[in-house]
């Protein structure tokens, strides 16, 4: 369907979380380890980049550009994928530029990416400018969308769902819970699951109000349908998003995020991150405590990575 490179460590494992299950006294918990996909510390973007980088190479690109926050996991992995494929990489990051580069930003530099700083309101304009400048200087640039979230990135998670389905064989879980932000991961999994089928998929919004994120996920599904000619029958109501855990916004860690990071680490030896999976973990734990998931159900937490973020200067004192 879409051209693909192969650099992800797949299939990622599915593990039980017996101590966390016991501690929370709720449904049986499992985890899908997409924090172990490889490519400079792994994460959900590795799967998307196998397709996005293949598209860039097919178009003859010698430079990829993308954008994100200063501590973007997507940008770190894009820089790694570009290095792996022998392409240049320019990242347009939302500043301010910190005095000391730590964690993902440190890795962006190590991986050889060129960094342009911008602010949120100028992000898209500055990305376009970097693209135009590259063209003018004779480069062949390729734009990797924000979060790797378009129909191509979603296709990677459509395939990831097929991987899970095969691994679980007939023993499917009742729910999948994941961190959702630019929506491509949730869109791909939703397409894979299809309409009215088990498992139910809940995206824990990292920062967006539920209706915005639902719309974003659904528009990626629509793009996917147009591009592939495949009809999903999904409606916007099928996209389940919970925005109860967005707190004070993107990247602002709160006590629930912190507790989730500690519970996963101390009980299962699993590292969540301060921005995405810590927040999704906080949602999962709270929904269990509230009795949203029934004790006889099985819930799979799809770990989407981000662990280098734990070492960012701004979070170290709070974790």
Ligand X SMILES: Cc1ncc(COP(=O)(O)O)c(C=O)c1O
CB nearer ligand X, residue 134 or residue 193: 193
Q: How far apart are CA 67 and CA 44, in angstroms?
A: 16
Is 72 a known active-site residue? Answer: yes
Q: Which residues of 34-65 are buried (b: 16+ CB within 10 A; e: fewer)?
A: bbbbebbbbbbbbbbbbbbbbbbbeeebbbbb
Catalytic-labelled residue, pool 6, 13, 66, 72? 72
Token pair recorded at residue 11: 């299939």
For the CB of residue 276, give the shortest distance to ligand X in the complex, in Å: 3
Q: How far apart are CA 46 and CA 88, in angstroms?
A: 17
CB nearer ligand X, residue 4 or residue 139: 4
CB nearer ligand X, residue 118 or residue 181: 181
My answer on whether omega of the bond before 159 falls inside 30° of 0, hence cis, is: no
Answer yes or no: are the C-beta atoms of 73 and 148 closer than 8 Å: no
Residues that bind ligand X (CB under 6 A): 43-44, 73-74, 147, 149, 179-186, 273, 276-277, 304-306
According to DSSP, the residues that pair with 32 across neighbouring strands are 14, 302
CB nearer ligand X, residue 26 or residue 278: 278
Q: How far apart are CA 261 and CA 251, in angstroms?
A: 14
Q: How far apart are CA 285 and CA 260, in angstroms?
A: 7
The catalytic site residues sit at 72
């Amino acid at each position: 369907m879409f051209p693909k490179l192969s650099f992800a460590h797949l299939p990622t494992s599915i593990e039980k979380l017996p101590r966390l299950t016991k501690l929370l006294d709720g449904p049986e918990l499992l985890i899908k380890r997409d924090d172990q996909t490889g490519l400079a510390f792994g994460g959900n973007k590795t799967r998307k980049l196998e397709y996005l980088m293949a598209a860039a190479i097919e178009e003859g690109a010698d430079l990829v550009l993308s954008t994100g926050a200063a501590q973007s996991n997507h940008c770190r992995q894009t820089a790694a994928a570009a290095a792996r494929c022998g392409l240049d990489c320019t990242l347009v990051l939302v500043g301010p530029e910190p005095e000391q580069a730590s964690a993902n930003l440190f890795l962006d530099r190590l991986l050889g990416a060129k960094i342009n700083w911008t602010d949120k309101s100028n992000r898209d304009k500055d990305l376009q400018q970097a693209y135009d400048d590259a063209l003018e200087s004779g480069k062949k640039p390729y734009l990797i969308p924000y979060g790797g979230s378009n129909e191509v990135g979603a296709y990677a998670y459509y395939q990831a769902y097929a991987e899970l389905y095969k691994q679980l064989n007939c023993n499917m879980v009742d729910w999948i819970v994941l961190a959702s932000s630019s929506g491509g991961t949730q869109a791909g999994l939703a397409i894979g699951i299809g309409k009215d089928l088990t498992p139910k998929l809940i995206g824990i919004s990292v920062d967006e109000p539920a209706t915005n994120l639902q719309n974003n996920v659904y528009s990626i599904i629509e793009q996917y349908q147009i591009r592939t000619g495949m009809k999903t029958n999904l409606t916007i109501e099928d996209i389940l998003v919970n925005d109860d855990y967005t707190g004070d916004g993107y990247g602002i860690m709160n006590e629930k995020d912190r507790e989730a990071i500690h519970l996963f680490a101390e009980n299962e030896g699993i590292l969540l991150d301060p921005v995405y999976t810590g927040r999704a973990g906080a949602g999962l734990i709270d929904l269990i405590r509230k009795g949203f998931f029934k004790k006889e159900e099985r819930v799979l937490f799809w770990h989407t990575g981000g662990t280098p973020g734990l070492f960012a200067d701004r979070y170290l004192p709070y974790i």
